[in-house]
Structure 1
Amino acid sequence: MSDILTDIRPDGVATVTMNRAAVHNAFNETVIADLDRAFRRLGDDPSVRIVLLRGAGKSFSAGADLGWMQRMAGYSREENVADALALARMMQAIDRCPRPTVAVVHGAAFGGGVGLVAACDIVVASEAASFSLSEVRLGLIPAAISPYVVAAMGERACRRYFLSAERFSAAEAMRLGLVHELAPADGLETAVERMVRSLLDCAPGAQTEAKDLIRAVSRRPTDDAVLADTADRIATRRASAEGREGVGAFLEKRDPSWRTPA
C-alpha cells in the first residue's frame, strides 16, 4: 500500500492522503518525495480544480518519522543538507501549487505537520485538532517549514511556539491565523464540502493568478513598480476569456461557464 494516495473526483477535486496511519502520518524521505511529486503533478493537470491534503487514521501528521531522524543523525553534513533541501522543496511545491489547496486537519498536527498546514492556502480543522511546533524539544529547529509558519501565524506567535514547543488548540490556531475554519468532528466533512463549493464557484484561471498576485505584492512597499505590475495584471485579466465570461455572466444574470450545479 502506497504511503501517499491520490484521487481525482469528476468535478476536478483532487485529494492527497498521507497513508501512514500506524505512525500518525509521520513523514520520511519517501513520503517527502511522493508528496512533492503529487503536488507538482496535480498542479500541472488542467482537469484539477482543487487539491485537498488529508491524513489517514487518527492524526493529520505527527511530523518527522523517528526512524528517518535516526538515520539522519548518521548522515554527513552534505547528506543532511541534501535531505533538508528535499523537505524544503516539498513544502515549496505545496505552497506554489497553482490550484487552490485545502488542508483538512484532524487529530495531531505536530512539527513538520504544522508546516504542511501552513503551506496550504486554506485550512479547515476539527475543533478537537491539536498543534505543536515541537522541534526544540528534540534539540532541533523548524527551519524548512519556518517561511510558511511565520507567514501564517506571524513572528510574535512564532517567538512563543517555536521556543516553547507547547501544544495549542485548534481554537488558538484559528486565533493566530494558522486555521481558517473550525468544525465539530462530526461536521468536518460538511465544512470541507462547503469550502470546496465556494472554490468551485470561482474562475480557475483567476484563482491561479490571484495566488501569484499574493506572492508578487506580499511584504513589498507599494512603490511605482508594484503599482505598474498590479495595473498590468488586472488589465490582462479583464481582457482574458475568463474575465469577459465572468463579467458577461454577471450582467446577464446567468452562471459563468466554469460553475457547475451544486
Structure 2
Amino acid sequence: MTITLTHGHDGRLARVRYDNAARGNCFDHAGLHDLVDTLETAAADERCVVIRLDMAGRHFCGGWDTTAFAALAGATTETVAADLRASDAALHRIRRLPVPVVAAVRGRIIGFGAGLLSAVHLPIAAADARLSLPEARYGFAPAGVGHTIARSLPRQHAYHLLTGAATATARQLLAWGLVVEVVDDDDLDHAVDDLVDTLLAVPGPTLRAVVAVVESSLATGTADQAYDISARTIVAGPTTQGASG
C-alpha cells in the first residue's frame, strides 16, 4: 500500500493517490489513518483549494482488509466498538476538511468503501460502479456504514442493501445522492478533470467558505454559522484569486 501527494496549478490542486490495488484498495487502521493524515496535510496548505483523490486500479474500495479480522479473535465488545468508532472518526475528518475532495468512483465499492464514498465531497461514478454490503453474510451487522446507509437511503432500500440481498448500481447511487454524476466508463477521468477545472475557477477563499457553509449547516442544523461565513466573503469583496493559472 502506498499513498502519494503531489501538487499542481501553483499549489491550488493537491492530488492524493491511494494505491492498494493489489487488494482492491481495501483498508486497515494504519492505511486509513495514513490516508486521512495525507489529506489533512494537503488541505493545511493555504494555497490548496481542491483535493483530487485517486484510488488506483480497477476498484474504488474493496472494504476493510479481511486479514485484520483474525486480530478480533477473543476481543471484547468494548474493544471492537472502540475500533469501529475510531474508523468512523477518521472518515469524519475527511468530511471536515476545509476544501472539497473530488474522486473518480469505478468498479466495486464494498462494505467500508460505502463510508469512504460518503465522506468524499464530490464523487463522480462510472456507469459500471457497483456498491455491495456483504457484512451480514459474514455474520455481523455493519455499524458506521449501516448508519450512513440508513440515513441516506429510503428505508426499504437500506434493508435490501444491509442484509446483503442487493447490489446498488451507479444510477441508484446517483438517485440516493451518494454520487454527484454518473458517466460512461471511458469518460470518467475526463469528467473528473472538468469538475476539478471548474472548482479551480472559483476564488480559493470562496470555495473554502462554501465548504464551511455546507458542513456547518449539516453539523448544526442551523444557518447561524453560515451567516457569519457568508458575511466575511461579502465584506472581503469580489476576488479573482484562484481563478487564474
TM-score w.r.t. length of structure 1: 0.83
Segment drifting more, 158-167 vs 112-121: 158-167
The reply to whether residue 210 of structure 1 matches residue 203 of structure 2 is no
Alpha-carbon shift at residue 29 of structure 1 (Å): 1.7
Q: How does 1:93-108 map to 2 (within 5 A)?
A: 93-108=93-108
Rate the CA distance shift 1:3–1:155 in 2: closer, same or farther, 3 A.
Answer: farther
Work out whether residues 3 and 19 of structure 1, in 8 Å CA contact, stay in contact via their aligned partners in 2: yes
Alpha-carbon shift at residue 192 of structure 1 (Å): 0.5
Q: How does 1:1-262 map to 2 (within 5 A)?
A: 2-11=1-10, 12-146=12-146, 148-150=148-150, 152-153=152-153, 157-218=157-218, 226=222, 229-240=225-236, 244-246=237-239, 256-261=240-245
Rate the CA distance shift 1:257–1:10 in 2: closer, same or farther, 3 A.
Answer: closer
Rate the CA distance shift 1:28–1:219 in 2: closer, same or farther, 3 A.
Answer: closer
Rate the CA distance shift 1:257–1:4 in 2: closer, same or farther, 3 A.
Answer: closer
Work out whether residues 91 and 145 of structure 1, in 8 Å CA contact, stay in contact via their aligned partners in 2: no
Alpha-carbon shift at residue 79 of structure 1 (Å): 3.4
- Structure 1: gaps spanning 5 or more residues: 247-255
Q: How many percent of aligned residue pairs carry the same amino acid?
A: 25
Alpha-carbon shift at residue 214 of structure 1 (Å): 2.0
Alpha-carbon shift at residue 26 of structure 1 (Å): 0.8
TM-score w.r.t. length of structure 2: 0.88
Alpha-carbon shift at residue 220 of structure 1 (Å): 6.5
1:44-86 CA-to-partner distances (Å, cap 9, x unmatched) read 1213221122221221111011101222234344432342233
Give me the whole-angstrom Cα distance separating, in 2, the residues matched to 1:101 and 1:6: 13
Rate the CA distance shift 1:228–1:130 in 2: closer, same or farther, 3 A.
Answer: closer
| Aligned position for 1:251 | none
| Greater gyration radius | 1
Give me the whole-angstrom Cα distance separating, in 2, the residues matched to 1:60 and 1:147: 20
Give me the whole-angstrom Cα distance separating, in 1, the residues matched to 2:76 and 2:46: 41
SS at match of 1:245: coil
- Count residues in correspondence: 244
Pairwise CA RMSD: 2.4
Higher relative contact order (CA 8 A, sep 6+): 2
